[in-house]
Amino acid sequence: MSRAARGDANIELMSVPGPATYTYLRCYYRTGGSATKPTTDYAWALDPSSGDYYRLNGYWWSSSALDWKNMYYTDVAQSTLQTVCRGTLQKKGIQQNPAMVFAADNQLSFNYTVWTNDKAGQGAAINKIVAFGDSLSDNQNVYNASMWTLPNRNSWFLGHFSNGQVWVEYLAGHLQLPVYNWAVGGAGVDTQKLVIPGVQQQVQSWKDYMKQARDYDPASTLFTMLIGGNDFVNYNNSVDKVISGQSQALTSLIDAGARNILVLNLPDVSRAPVFQFKSGATQVAAQVRDYNQRLNTLAAQLRLKYGSGLNLRVFDSYALFNQVLGNPAQYQFSNTTQSCLDINADSGANYLSAQNARANCVNPDSFVFWDTLHPTTRTHKVLADEVYGFLNGRAGFAALPRR
């Protein structure tokens, strides 16, 4: 019996995974000629021995008839995939590390996540990150679902609502762990607009996919969850609804075997540039404060309910964000009020077309915001750096790898 099928988890292996097959790898790299152009392209991975196209052995599975929801499972380590792509780019004269690596059968395929199966008897150490949330964590899910149209890849970095990596990717780099992403741009705690899965649905999706992951043990995963901004900014949901939905998502996750969970509270999203073009900042600010207080209470209740076997911690994004906005020079920022992209309206259509940078945004790293709601990748890195310190300090995640 796999560890994932033991009595302390509700995940059980499906008896018949997808048939054994092979697929190919896309090795993405940055092509933008300036700091304000986060464009990318890809090369097909080459086998380092034969020079032919690299074949990745494994199997496909999807919880849906929708092609973009496929996932590819393999026994090949993520570090090996990175090495193969790095060598491929070097052979082509591209002196960069791969920006992202995806599975794909042909030129018409979507970008598919490659899940590396665990090894039997691997122990209790944390060996991967699984992320839930919204556009602050999403790194391709909305992009695939929108047929590669949103966000526009000429102005946003390859499926990210930023100009580069998001915080959980930087965190994965710090910890030298792979990250698997269930976060969806536009998500709230529950399904929105009939098609955007909230964190409750994201957790259920993870549970479905993990039925196909060989030897998977949820206790060896660090789970992250950052949610709620869209509920208050875009969906006019109450704090009661958000806390209730997040409670259900976390309870479902824990009951499925999760033992190491990092939840981030909300930064003061009312201070984002979008509120220069829309009303409601005062209400949103109050909701965020109320939500953050009640999130701490929820976390304490869950720790009490599940006991010492659960390591659930809340990182204070709110305090960090206020520190950054109040003392920007300390973090090498000079602009805290404008978006780097020259967007001056509150419209989802902004993400569908290419946007120019403002004349004063020569260096995006000096801006806190990339667009009117989302941070620059530099801001994401500041968050990840602080989260990494938190995890290695008072958070007490003993099972994390140490550098």
User: What does the pLDDT look like over 95-129, one tens digit per residue?
Assistant: 999 999 999 999 999 999 999 999 988 888 999 99
pLDDT tens readout for residues 229-266? 999 999 999 999 999 999 999 999 999 999 999 999 99
The answer to whether the CB of 152 falls within 8 A of the CB of 351 is yes
Give whole-number Cα distances, 239 to 53, 137, 183, 233, 290, in Å. Answer: 51, 21, 20, 12, 7
The answer to whether the CB of 27 falls within 8 A of the CB of 89 is yes
Give whole-number Cα distances, 108 to 3, 53, 295, in Å. Answer: 37, 17, 43
Residue 174, pLDDT above cutoff 80: yes
Name the catalytic one among 205, 220, 268, 374: 374
- In the structure, what pLDDT confidence band is assigned to residue 1 with cuts at 50, 70 and 90? very low
Statement: the pTM of the whole predicted model exceeds 0.75: yes
CA-CA distance, 248 to 305, in Å (whole number)? 14
Report the candidate in 392, 352, 343, 17 with the shortest Cα–Cα distance to residue 176. Answer: 392
Name the catalytic one among 190, 217, 268, 371: 371
What is the pairing mode between strands 335-339 and 56-61? unpaired
What does residue 51 show for φ and ψ, rounded to 5 degrees?
80, -5
Cis omega (within 30 of 0) for bond into 218:
no
- In the structure, what pLDDT confidence band is assigned to residue 194 with cuts at 50, 70 and 90? low
The answer to whether the CB of 27 falls within 8 A of the CB of 45 is yes
Position 192 scores a pLDDT of 85
What does residue 369 show for φ and ψ, rounded to 5 degrees?
-115, 135
pLDDT tens readout for residues 64-101? 766 667 899 999 999 999 999 999 999 999 999 999 99
**Is 268 among the catalytic positions?**
no
pLDDT tens readout for residues 25-55? 999 999 988 999 999 999 999 999 999 999 9
Topology adopted by domain 3-392: Rossmann fold (3.40.50)
Lowest mean pLDDT among 39-48, 107-116, 185-194, 390-399: 390-399
The answer to whether the CB of 295 falls within 8 A of the CB of 314 is yes
Contacts 24+ apart (CB under 8 A), 303-312: 306/254, 309/259, 310/254, 310/259, 310/261, 311/259, 311/260, 311/261, 311/395, 311/396, 311/397, 312/250, 312/254, 312/261, 312/263
CA angle, residues 331, 333, 338, in degrees to nearest 5:
140
Name the catalytic one among 134, 135, 138, 270: 135
**Is 374 among the catalytic positions?**
yes
